[in-house]
Chains A and B, each alone.
Chain A
Amino acid sequence: MEDIINLKERAKEVRRLVINMITEANSGHPGGSLSMTDIITTLYFSIMNHSAANPAWEERDRFVLSKGHACPAYYAVLSLCGYFPASELLKLRKLGSILQGHPDSKVTPGVDFSTGSLGQGLSAACGMALAGKIDKKDYRVYAIIGDGESQEGQIWEAAMSAAHFKLDNLCVFLDCNKLQIDGKVEDIMNIEPVIDKWKAFGWNTIQIDGHSIEEIIEAAGIAHKTKGKPTMIVADTIKGKCVSFMEGKVCFHGTAPNREQEQQALRELE
């Protein structure tokens, strides 16, 4: 496990890579990648048991990025963990790349589940957690879902079932960055009070600052100790976090920075 200062440096490095990758690809989703960077970095470098040398290790903790469009941050973290060389990162979204526009478990080492059509990944994470229960294994299953994604009905089918099956080996982060393609989540289709919804569905709920590594670690620890119910960590985040001209800007949901913007972003992330 890395200490907090190192994790913060790691997260900064991930953000720089995200900017590099998306600029080079000239397409991708910077906003939602940057909003969940602290969560996914902390998961892979501090919370999860996993092995880059053996991605199919049966006892490993599983991870599903249900909001699959934020995969640049996922890929950057996997690469830093050693799942594949950093040279692959700049091939994001290019023909024949192992780094597809949305996560593809068949071609990317370390990706446990293919996602991209919103709402589907959480059900798969539930299935992985159920398999762990059937086999009485100790591994845990982590997932990140989006707030816009929470408008999908399948999220709530999964929510109901995970509580029904008492999947306490499942811990989900809701990356609440408050923006979606067409505008503010609250204007497009309000999901609030979202934490109350998860509570009503029978989950253990925790509210955190999604950019506080300390709070992410603490919440995951509480989730680990919680028995009989799955945990939903509602993470308050900022879309485009740490790049001033991207923060809170809808236009950077799915638009790549140009070279000039890339340089400015990298200066801010030094």
Chain B
Amino acid sequence: MAEMVATRDVYGKALIKLGKIYPDMVVLDADTASSTRTQWFSQEFPERFFNLGISEANMIGYAAGLSTCGKIPVVSAFACFGSGRVYDQVKLSVCWPKLNVKIIVTHAGVSVGEDGASHQAIDDINLMRGLPNMTVIVPADGIETEKAVRYAIETQGPFYIRLGRLNLPLVFDDTYEFVLGKMHALREGTDATIIACGLMVNESVKAAQTLSEQGINVRILNASSIKPIDKQAIILAAKETGAIVTAEEHSIIGGLGSAVAEVLAEHLPTPMERVGVKDTFGQSGTPKELLRIFGLDAVSIVEAVIKVLGRKTQKGR
């Protein structure tokens, strides 16, 4: 079984490594440092860490101001508080002036678990990808998290990186290279393509195994780069496999599924199904229970692939 690693733990360690290389890096948190793991950076570089208390809007403004003076501010919060809670601040104080602010959030999606709907960000990809100048990345595992965080720190401009709370199996090894705007094929196939991000990438790998036993061969694309989106890979997948399933721990409205649908609708309309939260709020429960009842697992992906294959056949007639 693959090694299990929490992306936020990788993030916490990556900040320390990068902090040693980049003296201008500063880290801000709003009273969630022990959970987001920015506390580790604060222990290593106390003079470059600032806890703003429970005032996320103010924190975004501080980051914006710091960046105009040459700092590389990394802002951390739970995904719900680092996106919707501060939408206008991110829009106007960060994205409009295109400032070098890195918003790196943890505890995204329903897999936050017991805290329930108020703490489950299922709309944040939608909000952040709608902002001009913003880059949105949802890493699939620990390996990709480290590479994406480094990429963000080393690249000018606003970034939103979305991490979760849970330990996740590694889907990549150290040789993996993160390339912004490029989807990485984890598996080749000709019957359909699953385009997934975050923890749904590993669920897609499991789904592909089940489907393969039924004689269905699917391609899997890791869409960690939500914005910019890899149009070329989507169009190619549509051409070569004729059916698309998207999978994300996010609402089916406005997230990865919508981003893919936008590309297909304009370039090559293709039967597709979206696996995600079906326009509803989350609730309390264990992460495992919630991922099941919201249909965010391999079983739901398998069902979606079979459904889309039915439509593909119909279209073929």
A interface, CB within 8 angstroms of B: 58, 62, 64, 104-106, 112-117, 119-132, 134-135, 153-154, 157-158, 160-161, 164-165
Query: Smallest CB-CB separation from B55: which chain A residue?
Result: A157
Given the complex, which residues of A lie within 8 Å of B61, measured CB to CB? 120-124, 126-127, 154, 158
Question: Is B57 within 8 A of A127, CB to CB?
Answer: no
CA distance A64 to B97 in the complex (A): 14
Question: Is A113 within 8 A of B68, CB to CB?
Answer: yes
Question: Is A127 within 8 A of B62, CB to CB?
Answer: yes
CB of B41, distance to nearest CB on chain A (Å): 15
CB of A58, distance to nearest CB on chain B (Å): 7
B interface, CB within 8 angstroms of A: 26, 47-48, 50, 52-53, 55, 57-71, 73, 88-89, 92-93, 96-98
Given the complex, which residues of B lie within 8 Å of A153, measured CB to CB? 57
Question: Is B69 within 8 A of A131, CB to CB?
Answer: yes
CA distance A130 to B73 in the complex (A): 12
CB of A142, distance to nearest CB on chain B (Å): 13
CA distance A119 to B93 in the complex (A): 11
CA distance A158 to B63 in the complex (A): 12
Given A106-B98, A112-B68, verify A120-B63 contact (CB < 8 Å): no
CA distance A59 to B67 in the complex (A): 15
Question: Is B55 within 8 A of A132, CB to CB?
Answer: no
Question: Is B97 within 8 A of A127, CB to CB?
Answer: no
CB of A248, distance to nearest CB on chain B (Å): 31
CA distance A112 to B58 in the complex (A): 18
**B66 touches which one: A116, A120, A128, A160 (CB < 8 A)?**
A128
Given the complex, which residues of B lie within 8 Å of A161, measured CB to CB? 52-53, 55, 58, 62
* Main SS class of interface, A: helix
CB of B59, distance to nearest CB on chain A (Å): 8
Given A128-B69, A131-B70, A161-B52, verify A117-B58 contact (CB < 8 Å): no
Q: Can you list the 6 inter-chain pairs with the closest CB atoms, starting with the nearest?
A: A127-B65, A123-B61, A131-B69, A157-B58, A124-B65, A127-B62
Question: Is A126 within 8 A of B69, CB to CB?
Answer: no
Given A123-B58, A126-B61, verify A117-B98 contact (CB < 8 Å): no
**A128 touches which one: B26, B47, B57, B65 (CB < 8 A)?**
B65
CB of B158, distance to nearest CB on chain A (Å): 13
CA distance A106 to B71 in the complex (A): 18
**B63 touches which one: A113, A117, A122, A127 (CB < 8 A)?**
A127
CA distance A119 to B88 in the complex (A): 11
Given A104-B97, A106-B97, A114-B97, verify A130-B57 contact (CB < 8 Å): no
Question: Is A131 within 8 A of B66, CB to CB?
Answer: yes
CB of B131, distance to nearest CB on chain A (Å): 14
Given A117-B88, A131-B70, verify A124-B53 contact (CB < 8 Å): no
**A124 touches which one: B47, B50, B64, B88 (CB < 8 A)?**
B64
CA distance A135 to B69 in the complex (A): 10
Given A104-B96, A124-B62, A127-B63, verify A157-B68 contact (CB < 8 Å): no
Q: Add 17 more A-B contacts to A160-B55, A161-B58 (CB < 8 A).
A: A62-B69, A106-B97, A113-B97, A114-B92, A117-B93, A119-B57, A123-B61, A124-B62, A126-B58, A127-B63, A127-B67, A131-B66, A131-B70, A135-B69, A154-B55, A158-B61, A161-B55
